[in-house]
Amino acid sequence: MPVYKVNVKWNKQVLNVDLNTDEEPRLFKAQLFALTSVAPDRQKVLFKGKQIQDDSWSNLQIKDGITLLMMGSQGEIPKAPEVKTVFMEDLNENKLTELLNLPAGLENLGNTCYINATVQCLKTVPEFVKKVYECESPITSLDMNAFLIESLKDVFYTMENHAVVNPTFLVSAILKAIPRFAENKQNGVFQQQDANEFWTELLRLIRGQLKPVDNPIQDDNSPRYDSFIDQYFGGVNEVTLKCVETEDEEPTVTKDNFLQLSCFINTDVKYLINGLKARLEEQLTKHSTKLNANAVYSKSSKISRLPSYLSVQMVRYIYKERESINAKILKDIKFPISLDVFELCSADLQQKLLPMRSKFKEQEDRICEGKIQQNAGDEKKKKNDKEDNKYIYPTYFKDDLGSNNSALYELQAVLTHKGRSSSSGHYVAWIKRNKNWFKCDDDDITPVTEDEILKLSGGGDWHCAYVLLYGSKQLEVEKKQDGTPLY
């Protein structure tokens, strides 16, 4: 290995350096950098007027004792960073949550996951949160529902500023307002409860505390609501009851209010929409005044009013008398991110829905024609699209604030259950916030993908969707110069 002892003159210094011609000159320059702190890209090394290249010694005759000349100055010594580097593992929970933009978690106080999951799902409804904040009810020792809404308000406020929230007062208010949930206490811990039962009971209890939102555009025919809950979560079914055993009896048509739709599960149902249809078409036996005997009736329900927020219960439990438990149906039932319930609606409502649906159809056509970029999350598009150049269509009928005017919905929360019985196992909320999905497992919050959400459809002992919360789909289009929508 040819190694030579050479001298390198730099400024007023003469350096004695080993030079190995089997190695590329760039390694020699690295040696000089170690001795002089002159970066290789700032070095100019000469021998008899010829500059040394980075990759070859072929143009030079190297031998012991020769003197090379190096020109170049030291670069500025890097300064210490003005802001001290902070590693993620050194952050506390609140700072980490703020940095990652995570939702706040809720502590499990002993089988309270059904409460935590329900609260997380309902918090995805901005109008609901706003109404809870605005609610001002005088609290007395006997007014459990007012205490409940104040406790919920406190939890919502705290969740805005903390990574993990202790919901002790809320849990206490719930157990006082719903005494049966405080039964069956063992070893100081309350028994697990059915999350959907709690969901519906909570809305019922606070219904009287939340006044409806005033709509300035109303006439004498506009619907009136006693509560915000009915206004934004409530739908109406048009129910037709007809005797199938005689034509002499006229069908009866009634109205039936609902806060939730049910997805019926049997051997034929594989998709959410089919389960919803099955629940809207039933047969029952009742007394017929015309026949003066019990007879079979067909009960057909069509939706005549859709709410802004539609919750759907997957009917996954059947009561087994022998074991005295609600056993779980684990069957895989596929649900969509985008839900269209147009075919579940009455003929009158379908006619009212057509204008808004035609606007959504026009947008789809424009996307297909390439006039609109389909990927709304594209970074370049984000920079070019100004918010003040966008028109967002109302998602409700003008005379019915809190309704849905298209029958189109987007999934925004899923409440799942893991286990074999509604009174055991574990409940988890999966919520969408700012276009991102998160798994809220009590105080453990983790980002998840949309594909992971779709895997919650059931089929095993993994988390199964139990309650689905859909919000009205928004249509956002460009504005004309006069401020009106482009189409």
CA–CA distances in Å: residue 293 to residues 253, 379, 483: 21, 69, 65
**b/e code 394-404 from CB counts within 10 Å (16+ = b):** ebbbeebbbbb
DSSP 268: T
Q: Cα(133)–Cα(139) distance, rounded to whole angstroms?
A: 15
pLDDT at residue 187 in the model: 72
pLDDT at residue 219 in the model: 73
3-class secondary-structure state, position 362: helix
The number of residues in the chain equals 487
* Fold agreement (3-71, 92-374+387-487): no
Written as one letter, the residue type at 106 is L
pLDDT at residue 380 in the model: 45
State residue 113 phi and psi, 5-degree precision. -65, -30
Q: Which two tokens stand for residue 474?
A: 């928004």
User: What is the third-level CATH fold of 92-374+387-487?
Assistant: Cathepsin B; Chain A (3.90.70)
Domain boundaries, the chain: 3-71, 92-374+387-487
Q: Which two tokens stand for residue 439?
A: 């798994």
3-class secondary-structure state, position 326: strand
Catalytic residue among 287, 426, 440, 463: 426
Q: Cα(354)–Cα(358) distance, rounded to whole angstroms?
A: 6
Predicted model pTM: 0.77
pLDDT at residue 2 in the model: 76
Q: Cα(399)–Cα(408) distance, rounded to whole angstroms?
A: 19
Question: Residue 268 in contact with residue 203, Cβ under 8 Å?
Answer: no
Q: Cα(442)–Cα(437) distance, rounded to whole angstroms?
A: 15
Residues of the chain with pLDDT under 70: 1, 75-100, 137-142, 184-186, 320-325, 371-388, 422
Q: Cα(330)–Cα(457) distance, rounded to whole angstroms?
A: 9
pLDDT at residue 383 in the model: 46
> What's the 3-state SS for 197-221?
HHHHHHHHHHHHHCCCCCCCCCCCC
**b/e code 313-338 from CB counts within 10 Å (16+ = b):** bbbbbeeeeeeebbebeebebebeee
Give CATH for domain 3-71: 3.10.20.90
Catalytic residue among 113, 243, 345, 464: 113
> Residue written as tokens 């609290």?
139
Q: Where are the beta strands (DSSP E) in 367-479?
A: 390-392, 408-418, 426-433, 436-441, 444-448, 464-472, 476-478
pLDDT at residue 117 in the model: 97
Confirm whether 113 is a catalytic residue: yes
pLDDT at residue 51 in the model: 83
Confirm whether 287 is a catalytic residue: no
